[in-house]
Amino acid sequence: MCQLAADNMDGTTPSEMKDAIKLAVGHSRTTHIPFGGQVFERKTPLSLTELDADGFNDFMDRALDYISNELGVDTSILRQEVEAA
């Protein structure tokens, strides 16, 4: 899925796409870092190995929705291409 998305978006790699998808669909943790009197927020993608089967299926549904929206394609067509790959 990440390779397919990266192939259709300029200037991104599959690894970057994987992190972008995780952040976009909320599969991340947020850390607040105080520095110099300010608090900075850092989001870090989580590992997919933390998900059970239902959680992974939910993640995939949200990821496919996100990618199809970014690419401007129908989610069902994207799902078919991902499953065929």
Alpha-carbon distance of 25 to 19, in angstroms, equals 10
DSSP secondary structure string for all residues of 38-51 = EEEEEEEEPPGGG-
d(CA 55, CA 19): 17
State how many domains the chain has.
Answer: 1
pLDDT digits (tens, 9 = 90+) for 22-61: 999 999 999 999 999 999 999 999 999 989 999 999 999 9
The 3-state DSSP class for residue 32 equals strand
Report the pLDDT value the prediction gives residue 31, as an integer from 0 to 100: 96
**pLDDT(15) > 90:** yes
When computed from its CA atoms, the radius of gyration of the chain, rounded to whole angstroms, is 15
- Say which residues have a Cβ less than 8 Å from residue 8's Cβ, sequence separation at least 6: 71
Q: Provide the domain limits for residue 39.
A: 2-84
What is the reported pLDDT for 32? 97
